[in-house]
Amino acid sequence: MTLTDTRAAKAFTGQAMPRKEDDRLLKAQGEFGDDTPIAHLAYVNFVRSPYAHARITSIDVSAAEQVDGYLGCLLPEEAEALTDGFMELQGPPADVEVDRCLTSLGKVRFVGEAVVAVAGETREAARDAAAAVLVEYEPLTAVADAREAIKHDAPAVHDQIGHNIAWDGTFDYGDIDFALDQADHVIEADELHFHRSSATPLECNAITVQYDAGVETFTIIGGCAQPQVTTLMVAAALRHSAERIRIVSKDFGGSFGVKIGMYVQATALALLSRKLGRPMRWTETRTEHHLTGGHCNERWFRNVKMAVQSDGTVLGLSYDALDDIGAYTRYEPLGAVIWSHVTNACYQLSHLKVRFRTVYTNKGPVLPVRGYSRVQHLWLVERMMDIAAHELGFDPVEFRMHNYIKPEQYPYTTVNGCVYDSGNLPLSLSKALDLIDYQQARQLQAEVRGTGKRIGIGIGSTLDSGTNNFGQARIIYEHLPFGGNTEGGLVRMGADGTIFAVTGGVAFGQGHETTVAQVVSDMLGVGYDDVVVHRGADSSLSAQTGFSGSYASQFAVTGIGAIINATRKLAREIRLVAASVLGAEPDDIMLEGGFANNPPERVLRVVNGQDRSKVRVTR
Amino acid sequence: MTSDPNPITVIVDGREERGVVSARKLLVHWLRDTLDERGPKIGCDTGNCGACTVRCDGHLVKSCMVLAVQADSTEVETAAGLAAEDGTLNHLQSCFKRYHALQCGYCTSGMLMTATDFLESGEEVTDQSTRRALKGNICRCTGYENIVRAVRAAAGQDVPLPHGAVPTREGDDL
Ligand code: FES
Ligand code: FES
């Protein structure tokens, strides 16, 4: 694949346009998850586990029933009776994990796990009633460290699985044993740790569910990063038709991956809204978000070995990974394969071997936080590059430059057969070094040595994959009923000539309305303001497909790709209509300046805008 | 259904609003849930993020830290009241737009209120004083740099435009 520069001569694409989103956001006229006004709204508060691992011996809601404004609650036994467990991606034996909207099988498995959902007339009533629910626990030994969790005598997070390994597999590319055996140097690290973190979008989850009994439809309102998968998750759990679930996301205050996981709470709200006959809203607190909001994958790298030649050439790498994913797999164990988009990181490795184990612990479940799973592997490779450079006496910049994939090597095939299509890593690093004046920084570092002041200089290089291929999920479990990737785009012309566009994805700050308008207006030869782009996603309105959503850096590839294809179809229709009106051939019609032109002199106005006096047909 | 009804009267962005609230009702919840005021947002409910920032009788407050009853007989200003009546962005808002000082926009209302207060305070506007003024407001998207630039530009300082932006073009409000 070769890249062509398509930036030339576009009126809007590639230009710094004023964002379509900005005015409403600056004027506080956006509509975020908690903003949507709903009549007769009730509020939900969750009773959460204070224990990392405990058996539930009793639940008593009688005191809650006395709270003024209490409406009702959802208990684990009800959730067990009314829902099926969420779909699991792992195969046997860990596929017997049971994950529901409330804890199930009589245990809690992490601090903050939802035990009871309580509904009240007001936020305060829901909170008071939840506080009055009495749950008795019998604490069990918790396991909070993946290295302990894999031991035979470790307490099992899911009793029915019997151990804490959700997935175990080995990726073996090239011949690492030979490389380690033959290399001039083997650089080793016993253990490196990529710690847990939280994505913390500034807007926590805010979900409202309305049940319309007349048409048996649940409407889920609030930030949802993966609408169609969420629909399927909720539908299967509720044993309800996916076509009778509608998801509406308007503005949302960040996701960074974690708003993929909102189907869990949405399911609890759906049950309550149907049972109590009122729309239910849950506005997550920051504390809840930190406890349960979907952490990033915490990974232990053990027994790390890197084969390096005396001239600084890195031959390959091997390690054992323990991925601590907390108490439930949810999006996992996809992380066990997603890192392999970028096996080579930035370097010309020829050999790579990774044993990967996905491990349950009694901690909050992880979700695909931005840079999902790749960032952990990329970090490990960069750490090893530094350790190796240090041990062998190479400058960390020179060492990287020597091993980088070179511009002339693209398309570059990685050890596992992935293709990096383009790039210029040495130039990128040089530019970054220039920006901090690297030579001077090193000089400064040397000058202050011994004065008690120390200056640290760190080098990190990275690359990432854009969009996704769920085909990889079958490395996890070959019988998974999905693969590949899809996205939808809908572009149409309204009766007054306004162009309307909507993608299947959502935006949480990326400015998709702006980008879509830039591309569509250029392709149709109309003005930027002639294109109305729908905000967010509405599964009953947008052109959604099974994998629609905003995750895995999808938009620039699949999102815009779908919009381009849809716009082509519309352009074709405009040409057909214009050709018949003007008595020309469709292929001779040019779309520019808001007109369909058949040079030299015949024009048909395409976009009316507000000014109808300009509508004209010249034959 | 409120067991401790407290009547309150608050001027919100120039409009008189009357309500009956329980003593524990937070100002941010009253503004948002009862009045559909979308300026103050909730990012933490612990006074840490600044998304709920409004001005109350000229004082900058985090409305999640104020009870609605405390706002009785005060004048509250939210970000929804910043633009002109015909919807035209004010100078600070235009600078935010021009300097790409917002992405998701969730922190924006709070940032605008804090910046408004800072610019009106008469304090000398420098990179450092701007950063100090904004320290109670968290943004998870932008990395702050463009917010600081926007505020300084609003103070009339010569600040480099974001990458790729051309000095003036149609659609800019400056
Ligand atoms: S919500 Fe008030 S400071 Fe965060
Ligand atoms: S723009 Fe998203 S939090 Fe500031």
3-state secondary structure A9-63: CCCCCCCCCCCCCHHHHHCCCCCCCCCCCCCCCEEEEEEECCCCCEEEEEEECHH
User: Where do we find the tokens 């090893």?
Assistant: A384
- A&B contacts, CB < 8 Å: 130
Q: Distance between CA atoms of A461 and A285, rounded to whole angstroms?
A: 36
Tokens coding B147: 């917010």
> What is the per-residue pLDDT for A166?
98
Ligand 1: lining residues by beta carbon, under 6 Å: B 42-45, 47-52, 62, 64
Question: Which chain A residue is nearest to residue B164, measuring alpha carbons?
Answer: A16
pLDDT at A613: 39
- Reference A225, options A585, A473, A553, A505; nearest CA is A505
Instruction: Please judge whether B89 and A23 are an interchain contact, meaning their C-beta atoms are less than 8 angstroms apart.
Output: yes
What are the strands, taking DSSP E only, across B49-93?
53-56, 59-62, 75-77
Report the residue count for chain A.
Answer: 619
**Which residue is listed with tokens 């879509």?**
A516
Instruction: Find all residues with CB under 8 Å of B153, minimum gap 6, and list them.
Output: B95, B98, B99, B159
- State the number of CA atoms in the 13 A half-sphere of A382 facing the CB: 16
| Burial (Cβ within 10 Å: 0-12, 13-18, ≥19) of residue B167 | exposed
Q: For residue B105, which residues of chain A lie inside 8 Å, CB to CB?
A: 21-22, 25-26, 30, 251, 253, 509
Tell me how close the Cα of A32 comes to any Cα of chain B, in angstroms: 8
Which percentage of chain A shows pLDDT scores above 70? 97
Ranges for all domains in chain A classified under CATH 3.90.1170.50: 42-140+200-291
A189 Cα distance to chain centroid: 31
pLDDT beneath 70, residues of chain A: 1-9, 608-619
Closest residue to atom 3 of ligand 1, CA basis: B47
Does the pLDDT at position B170 exceed 80? no
**pLDDT recorded at residue A611:** 46
Assigned architecture for domain A42-140+200-291: Alpha-Beta Complex (3.90)
Secondary structure E strands in A230-383: 245-249, 280-283, 298-308, 314-324, 351-359
Note the pLDDT of residue A604.
79
Strands A245-249 and A537-538: antiparallel
Pocket test for ligand 1, best of B45, B66, B107 (most atoms within 8 A of CB): B45
Write out the residue limits of the CATH 3.30.365.10 domain(s) in chain A: 146-197+295-417, 489-618
Query: B53: closest CA among B35, B28, B73?
Result: B28
Q: The tokens of A535 are what? A: 């905000």
* Rounded Cα distance, A601 and A619, in Å: 8
CA angle in degrees (0–180, nearest 5) for A238-A241-A247: 80
Q: What CA–CA distance (Å, rounded) separates A323 from A169?
A: 12
Distance CA A225, CA A551 (A): 7
Class of domain A146-197+295-417: alpha beta
A76 three-state secondary structure: helix
Residues of chain A with Cβ-Cβ distance to B3 below 8 Å are 68
Identify the contact set of chain A against chain B, taking CB-CB distances under 8 A. 15-19, 21-23, 25-32, 34-35, 37, 68-69, 121-124, 200-204, 251-254, 256, 283, 285-287, 508-511, 528
The per-residue pLDDT for A197 is 94
- Cβ pair A124:B24 closer than 8 A: yes
Query: For residues A250 and A613, what is the distance between their CA atoms, to the nearest angstrom?
Result: 35
Domains with residue ranges and CATH for chain B: 6-79 (3.10.20.30), 82-174 (1.10.150.120)
Q: Do B38 and A200 touch (CB under 8 A)?
A: no
Q: Which amino acid is at B159?
A: V
CATH architecture of A489-618: 2-Layer Sandwich (3.30)
Q: Do residues A310 and A367 lie in contact, with contact meaning Cβ atoms separated by under 8 Å?
A: no
* Secondary structure (3-state) at B9: strand
Structure-token pair, residue B105: 């926009």
Contact A286 B166 (CB under 8 A): no
The Cα A25–Cα B109 span in angstroms is: 8
What pTM value is reported for the model? 0.94
